[in-house]
Amino acid sequence: MEINDFKSNDEITWCPGCGDFGILNALKKSLVNLGKEPKDILLVSGIGQAAKLPHYIKSNCFNGLHGRSLPPAIAAKIANRNLSVIVTTGDGDCYGEGGNHFIHNIRRNVDITVIVHNNQIYGLTKGQASPTTDLGYKTKVQVNGVILEPMHALEMAIALGCGFVARGYSANSEHLCWLIGEGIKHKGFSLIEVLQPCVTYNKKNTYEWYTKRIYKTEDDASYNPNDKIAALQKAAEWEERIPIGVIYRNEKDSYEDKSGLAKNIPLVDEEIENIDISEALKEFI
């Protein structure tokens, strides 16, 4: 497979310069590197700019409701574990509207990869604060600046024991491509939050602002992503220096292993026209 095999003919409606382009390219490259075929990939999304991404790749796509990208994604994976299921969601979709699913699907640990486009602002609704907007940032709604504490999603994920927690930067496509690949290879729920400048509505967290602060965790030889406490500290770094890379790894059994699903034939492959329930009915005699 080559990059062109993943080319979609759908017109892209993101703003020129949007950080989402970097994520789209990194994801395509990553799928090529992993030798995946479009027909075996399912991209699932909710609503927002990130949620449009599945249309811009040739692969199966389920673009559902706002905040509800995770439930159909994990269920599709449970129904057919031969699909590689990837969620493209945003800070509003995943951390705001869909916060409950974010928490409980980390606990559920179905083998899916979740890419959160975090631009720290609402783009599609034109510039209101998101759950990750920095304190004090002024918008048309938060006229005196944001007073709600930003949600620390990576720290939450680590606290919940998520098996793979990473942060990427949309302007560093090669590094992001590698992170996405690692996430897809990880067996279980993998979270990749991508810092993604919104060129229209976020005037603070710009390319320039990020470039000054970002460093790779891989460059620090002493950093051990298997250490939960160190990972929590690493994930909390912000404002001065911002780490990208694998923040936390926690190898454990996935939902598929624990539920026994992995031992049975995929649900979609079951022949259902002649199911015999006579033995089950006998329990009611």
Shortest reach from residue 261's CB to another protein, in Å = 7
Q: Which two tokens mark 9?
A: 């003919």
- Smaller CB separation from another protein, 37 or 227: 37
CA–CA dist 64, 51 (Å, integer): 9
Report the Cα–Cα distance between both ends of the chain, in Å, rounded.
Answer: 57
Q: How does DSSP classify residue 184? A: H
Q: Is 34 exposed, middle or buried (0-12, 13-18, 19+ CB in 10 A)?
A: middle
Cβ–Cβ under 8 Å, residues 82 and 55: no
With binding defined as CB under 8 A, does residue 233 bind another protein?
A: no
Cα-based angle 183, 153, 45 (whole degrees, multiple of 5): 60
The size of the interface with another protein (CB under 8 A), counted in residues, is: 56
Residues 91-150 that bind another protein (CB under 8 A): 100-101, 103-104
CA–CA dist 21, 107 (Å, integer): 31
- Smaller CB separation from another protein, 229 or 272: 272
Shortest reach from residue 206's CB to another protein, in Å = 28
With binding defined as CB under 8 A, does residue 52 bind another protein?
A: yes
Amino acid at 260: G
With binding defined as CB under 8 A, does residue 48 bind another protein?
A: no
Shortest reach from residue 166's CB to another protein, in Å = 24
Residues in contact with another protein by the rule CB under 8 A: 10, 38-40, 42, 44, 47, 52, 54-55, 58-65, 68, 70-80, 82-83, 100-101, 103-104, 259-261, 264-265, 267-268, 270, 272-281, 284-285
